[in-house]
């Protein structure tokens, strides 16, 4: 097996290759003077199972992902697995207003044309995977997040909205802690309203868990509620730290006691690694087909 990495999630890809004890290739990627993407996988031929690790965010990474698949195929890749740590556009998974595209479906349909298998991590809506023409599986970061926080004195795990309730349950159960979710109403792209928590927050060390932090509006509103309800500390963990603008500074310089995310998207707070989760899936999938071997 060979792990090939594009411009994104490089730490995750390197760690993945290390755990799997297989060859790692960092594809070179530059821009032509007109801004078009140029990418190249160094070497003569691949002649092995290839794993391409690349996000579909920001937009230019989508182009790079398509080009890398073509290059890998031309170099003789026996099988191509796409590991998409952060699947961008998954939140537009249906038509909210007439005239809109079903963006998540468009992405899945086109990205999956030249590959044999797709692995995502905490994709916003799992149903999106049905649009891939090849087998596609979503892995959960809950185990990695629960492990990270297991000795941090947390008393209660909360999701900021009903959509993340399953995540709070999974992490709460893994940590042997109570869990619940808050009720959120989205007012605009940057503003949300969160109702007071039903759970008793007084003097509790609370962990809020979500799949994505983008503007940070959801997490700020949830934290404010919990602190008003007497929480002793509020730690925040998400899988994908998109962090638009100065979101990290705004969140860390505020009422939040700890802010962590996974290494699907790299930032200064992406200290929770999902490499082992991905490696386990690749190992079991390849063992079934007898493809894993050291290079
Ligand atoms: C929404 O359904 C997601 O799970 C996140 O809660 C949301 O994307 C976070 O966005 P923001 O940080 O902009 O509030």
Q: Measured in angstroms, how far is the CA atom of residue 218 from the centroid of ligand 1?
A: 6
Task: Kindly state whether residues 216 and 120 are assigned to the same domain.
Answer: no
For atom 8 of ligand 1, the residue with the nearest CA is 212
Note the pTM of the prediction, 2 decimals.
0.92
What are the 10-residue block averages of pLDDT along the chain, 295 residues in total? Answer: 96 98 96 96 93 96 96 96 97 95 96 93 95 96 98 97 96 98 89 89 97 95 95 98 95 91 97 98 73 42
Chain CA centroid to CA 3, Å:
18
Q: 3-class DSSP state for residue 146?
A: helix
Task: Kindly state whether residues 75 and 182 are assigned to the same domain.
Answer: no
Q: Measured in angstroms, how far is the CA atom of residue 240 from the centroid of ligand 1?
A: 10
Q: Is residue 120 part of a domain?
A: yes
Q: Is residue 295 part of a domain?
A: no
Measured distance CA(277)–CA(121) in Å, rounded = 9
Measured distance CA(293)–CA(269) in Å, rounded = 34
Q: 3-class DSSP state for residue 111?
A: helix
**Total domains present in the chain:** 2
CATH number of the CATH domain containing 15: 3.40.50.2020
Task: Kindly state whether residues 99 and 14 are assigned to the same domain.
Answer: yes
Q: What is the mean pLDDT of the chain?
A: 94
Q: Render pLDDT for 49-70 as a digit per residue (tens, 0 to 9).
A: 999 999 999 999 999 999 999 9
> What residue numbers bound the domain in which 228 lies?
143-261
Report CA dihedral (284, 240, 51, 54) to the nearest 10 degrees: 170
Is 83 within 8 Å of 53 (Cβ atoms)?
yes
Q: Render pLDDT for 201-235 as a digit per residue (tens, 0 to 9).
A: 999 999 999 999 999 999 999 999 999 999 999 99
- Closest to 191 in 3D by CA, of 163, 162, 218, 164: 218
Q: Measured in angstroms, how far is the CA atom of residue 173 from the centroid of ligand 1?
A: 23
223 CB near ligand 1 (under 6 Å) = no
Is 275 within 8 Å of 12 (Cβ atoms)?
yes
Give the mutation target among 123, 126, 164, 212 for probing the ligand 1 site: most ligand atoms within 8 A of CB.
212
Give the mutation target among 210, 219, 259 for probing the ligand 1 site: most ligand atoms within 8 A of CB.
210
- Closest to 210 in 3D by CA, of 256, 279, 268, 151: 256
221 CB near ligand 1 (under 6 Å) = no
Q: Measured in angstroms, how far is the CA atom of residue 220 from the centroid of ligand 1?
A: 11
- Closest to 29 in 3D by CA, of 7, 51, 52, 55: 7
Tokens 């209660």 -> residue: 156
Catalytic residues: 184
């Amino acid at each position: 097996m060979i792990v090939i990495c594009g411009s994104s999630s490089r730490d995750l890809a390197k760690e993945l290759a290390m755990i799997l004890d297989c060859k790692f290739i960092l594809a070179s990627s530059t821009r032509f003077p007109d801004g078009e993407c140029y990418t190249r996988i160094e070497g003569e031929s691949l002649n092995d199972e290839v794993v391409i690790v690349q996000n579909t965010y920001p937009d230019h990474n989508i182009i790079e992902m398509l080009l890398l698949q073509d290059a890998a195929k031309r170099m003789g890749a026996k099988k191509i697995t796409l590991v998409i740590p952060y699947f961008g556009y998954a939140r537009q998974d249906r038509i909210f207003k007439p005239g809109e595209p079903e963006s998540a479906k468009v992405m899945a349909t086109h990205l999956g044309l030249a590959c044999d298998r797709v692995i995502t991590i905490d994709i916003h809506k799992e149903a999106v995977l049905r649009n891939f023409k090849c087998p596609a599986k979503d892995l959960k970061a809950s185990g990695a997040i629960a492990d990270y926080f297991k000795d941090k004195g947390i008393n209660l795990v909360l999701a900021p909205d009903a959509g993340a309730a399953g995540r709070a349950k999974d992490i709460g159960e893994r940590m042997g802690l109570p869990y619940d979710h808050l009720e959120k109403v989205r007012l605009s792209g940057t503003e949300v309203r969160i109702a007071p928590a039903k759970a008793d927050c007084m003097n509790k060390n609370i962990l809020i868990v979500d799949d994505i932090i983008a503007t940070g509006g959801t997490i700020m509103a949830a934290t404010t509620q919990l602190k008003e309800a007497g929480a002793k500390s509020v730690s925040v963990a998400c899988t994908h730290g998109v962090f638009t603008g100065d979101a990290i500074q705004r969140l860390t310089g505020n009422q939040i006691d700890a802010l962590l995310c996974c290494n699907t998207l790299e930032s200064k707070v992406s200290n929770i690694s999902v490499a082992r989760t991905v490696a386990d899936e690749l190992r079991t999938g390849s063992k079934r087909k007898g493809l894993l071997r050291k290079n």
